[in-house]
Amino acid sequence: MSVLVYINNHGGNIHKNAFEAVAYGKAIADQTGTELYAALIGPADNAGDLGAYGALKVYHNNDGSFSNFDPSAITNALADIVAECSADIIVCSHDFSSKSIAPRLSARLKAGLVTGAVGLPNTQGSFSVTKAVYSGKAFAEIEILTDKKIICLLPNSIEFEKGEGSAEVIISSSSASSSGIQVKEIKKESTRLSLTEAELVVSAGRGLKGPENWGMIEKLAEKLGAATACSRPVADIDWRPHHEHVGQTGTVIRPNLYIAIGISGAIQHLAGVNGSKVIVVINTDPEAPFFKAADYGIIGDAFEVVPKLLDSAPTL
Amino acid sequence: MKLLVCISKAPDTTAKIEFKDNDSKFNSDGVQFIINPFDEWYALVRALEIKESQGGSVTIIHVGLAENDPIIRKALALGADDAVRINREATDALSVAEEIAAYAKDEQYDMILTGKETIDHNGSQLGGMIAELLELPSISLASKMDINGNSATLERDVQGGKEVIEIQTPFVLSASKGMAEARIPNMRGIMAARTRPLKVVEPIGQALYTKVNKYVLPVEKAECRYIDAENPSELWDLLKSEAKVL
């Protein structure tokens, strides 16, 4: 019996979401009286650091062919590690990588899967996990009925800190068996931060009147170290790229701070952002529905308010 | 190309989310149900575009009871050729995937398409599960696809960007925004949909892997605190000292 955290990395340092998943896995291991291991697929500079968040051992599979992100090949490698450490609870961060891998592993192991978990499982009697549903408009307590269980944690869901210690790194060598996916090109987005990972997000909508007016939004985001986002209409008319669209049919985010500028707050938009810890709304219309979901509001013209905010914003 | 599109039922995006029977069930009173937008706008429309440019057929598959037939008819009205409904309530992704895989395994589809997630349970699970059960490659969160013979070039979302990949059919994909533009069915499509075949298949009846015990609504937000638009810099102090997010 053990808890195993799956991490996919593409070189460089391991991302914050992965450390969060490790800290979450460690809490489950403590809860169930077992040990925590990590399965790391792909190159990473700081595999041993996973120990500082609670992993006892890291099974690192760094076969060069994993740089081709091939879900069925990674599932094979991960299933080998699951067997090797007799894991019965597998944890990952609910990011692009686990969205590809966790369902395959679930079907492979016949393990009940909960994605988008927002807190620790309840292990008294039955085993259940609370997850966000209806795009953040509600939560559901899902019981996992199988012996093997897989949980994908919604990023930015738990508080965690780096502790002491370094994990023992074991090289895992099952080789990649390609299913025929060939990577031709990797396009980095212009935004420096991925939206689901960002702690601070500055977002704007039709109130900005045109794509040429986004300069002040980008400057504000840069000063705060925030990611930029937008509402659906603005992405649909190509003022902003599709990947910036947050909302029910775009990306669902839950940063610590969401600043919405010139967005009225349609129910579909709110569904994508109402997991944010603090919401600031800036809008000319005092009746804008977004103010009902806001913690702080400024009723005013974005073109007057934002430059003032930009001047006084702390550099983070 | 022989295409299979999996569609799910979802409450309309403006529906009020309420629960009944001790918070164990979604309260569907007065709620309009639609095809899950990711399944319709992106997976189905892209499949129809491929059929229109390359030839072939688009089959709809849905796991659900007869009350869901109207959303299947809508998918047919958009241009799908025929539909299969597996007669079982869909409550758990893996058991749904097993039903679809059991039906699809002898049908030799070139491509199986799903939306990237449903807007009710937000699982993002089905495509990968079907692929694993059928031992096919899978591409999740694809936002663009071009077809050249039996080869497809796709863009998919990865950490901090997009990846362009090439793959040979058959495969399973989950479609996200950008893949296609939403369509509205025309009158001819709606008329034709009435007579297009909708086959009802009995389920294999695999047991559930997960179940919902109860639903909880989020706690109401406290009143919004307003800051003077003439002197907005106060916001930064409040975010630092009161909200503690900076």
Same domain? A133 vs A71: yes
Place of tokens 């195993």: A4
pLDDT score of A187 more than 90: no
**Per DSSP, what are the bridge partners of residue A151?**
A91, A114
pLDDT bracket for residue A262 (50, 70, 90): very high
Q: What is the pLDDT of residues B32-74, one digit of tens each?
A: 999 999 999 999 999 999 999 999 999 999 999 999 999 999 9
Q: In whole numbers, what is the pLDDT of chain B averaged over residues? A: 95
Q: What distance in Å separates residue A136's CA from the closest CA in chain B?
A: 8
pLDDT of A192 = 55
**Per DSSP, what are the bridge partners of residue A57?**
A37, A168
Q: Tell me if the bond preceding B137 is cis, omega within 30° of 0.
A: no
Identify all chain A residues contacting B95, using CB atoms and an 8 Å cutoff.
none
Can you list the alpha helix ranges (DSSP code H) found in chain B?
Answer: 37, 45-54, 69-77, 93-104, 126-134, 187-195, 234-241
Q: Which residue has the higher pLDDT, A10 or A132?
A: A132
pLDDT score of A176 more than 70: no
Identify all chain A residues contacting B238, using CB atoms and an 8 Å cutoff.
296
- C-alpha distances out from residue B225 to A33, A274, B198, Å: 45, 17, 54
Q: What is the pLDDT of residues A72-87, one digit of tens each?
A: 999 999 999 999 999 9
Among candidates A20, A1, A3, A9, which has minimal Cα distance to A60? A9
Determine whether the interchain pair B209/A146 forms a contact, defined as Cβ–Cβ distance below 8 Å: yes
Q: Which residue has the higher pLDDT, A316 or B232?
A: B232
Q: Is residue A189 part of a domain?
A: no
Q: Is residue A176 part of a domain?
A: no
Element (H, E) at B144: strand B138-148
pLDDT of A177 = 74
Same domain? A162 vs A223: no
Q: Is residue B245 part of a domain?
A: no
Q: Is residue B82 part of a domain?
A: yes
Alpha carbon of residue B41 to chain centroid: 9
Q: What is the pLDDT of residues A100-110, one digit of tens each?
A: 999 999 999 99
Q: Is residue A165 part of a domain?
A: yes
Q: Is residue B243 part of a domain?
A: no
Q: Which residue has the higher pLDDT, A22 or A190?
A: A22
Q: What is the mean pLDDT of residues A24-49?
A: 94
pLDDT score of A119 more than 70: yes
Same domain? A117 vs A255: no
Determine contact: B212 vs chain A, CB below 8 A.
Answer: yes
Instruction: Give me the half-sphere count of Cα atoms (radius 13 Å) on the Cβ side of residue A187.
Output: 12
pLDDT of B79 = 97
Same domain? A265 vs A133: no
Q: Which residue has the higher pLDDT, A55 or A62?
A: A55
Q: What is the pLDDT of residues A160-175, one digit of tens each?
A: 999 988 899 999 887 6
Q: Is residue B230 part of a domain?
A: no
Q: What is the mean pLDDT of residues B132-146?
A: 96
Same domain? A163 vs A204: no
A48: which 2 tokens? 């041993």
Q: What is the mean pLDDT of residues A30-41?
A: 96
Q: Which residue has the higher pLDDT, B236 or A190?
A: B236
pLDDT score of B206 more than 90: no
* CATH code assigned at B158: 3.40.50.620
β B57-63/B33-35 pair status = unpaired
Same domain? A110 vs A29: yes
**Percentage of residues in chain A having pLDDT higher than 90:** 72
Q: Is residue A191 part of a domain?
A: no
| Selected residue of A72, A129, A134 to mutate for chain B interface (largest B Cβ count, 10 A) | A134
Number of H helices, E strands in chain A: 8, 15
pLDDT of A189 = 62
Q: Give the whole-angstrom CA distance, residue A221 versus residue A233.
A: 21
Q: Is residue B146 part of a domain?
A: yes
* CATH code assigned at A227: 3.40.50.1220
Q: Is residue A185 part of a domain?
A: no
3-state helix, strand, coil in chain A (%, to 5): 35, 30, 40
Same domain? A166 vs A25: yes
Q: What is the pLDDT of residues B72-89, one digit of tens each?
A: 999 999 999 999 999 999
Q: What distance in Å separates residue A103's CA from the closest CA in chain B?
A: 5
Domain residues for the domain of B156 are 2-213
pLDDT of B244 = 93
Determine contact: B187 vs chain A, CB below 8 A.
Answer: no
Determine whether the interchain pair B139/A181 forms a contact, defined as Cβ–Cβ distance below 8 Å: yes
* CATH code assigned at A25: 3.40.50.620
Identify all chain B residues contacting A229, using CB atoms and an 8 Å cutoff.
none
Cβ neighbours of A74 (radius 10 Å): 24
Residues contacting residue A213 through CB under 8 Å, at least 6 positions apart: A303
Structural domains in chain A (count): 2
Positive or negative, the CA dihedral A225, A229, A234, A240 is positive
pLDDT score of A25 more than 80: yes
CB B114 within 8 A of CB B127: yes
ipTM: 0.94
Same domain? A38 vs A131: yes
| Selected residue of A74, A99, A187 to mutate for chain B interface (largest B Cβ count, 10 A) | A99
Structural domains in chain B (count): 1
Q: In whole numbers, what is the pLDDT of chain A averaged over residues? A: 92
Q: What is the mean pLDDT of residues A17-42?
A: 96
Domain residues for the domain of A261 are 200-312
pLDDT score of A264 more than 60: yes
Determine whether the interchain pair A314/B166 forms a contact, defined as Cβ–Cβ distance below 8 Å: no
Q: What is the pLDDT of residues A126-155, one digit of tens each?
A: 999 999 998 888 999 999 999 999 999 998
Q: Is residue B130 part of a domain?
A: yes
Same domain? A163 vs A239: no
pLDDT score of B189 more than 80: yes
pLDDT of A194 = 77
Q: What is the mean pLDDT of residues B207-231?
A: 92
Same domain? A156 vs A219: no
pLDDT of A190 = 55
> Considering CB atoms only, which of A100, A140, A296 is closest to B225?
A296
pLDDT of B157 = 80
Q: Is residue A183 part of a domain?
A: no
Q: Is residue B46 part of a domain?
A: yes
Same domain? A217 vs A158: no
Q: What are phi and psi of A259, to 5 degrees?
A: -105, 115
CB A218 within 8 A of CB B175: no
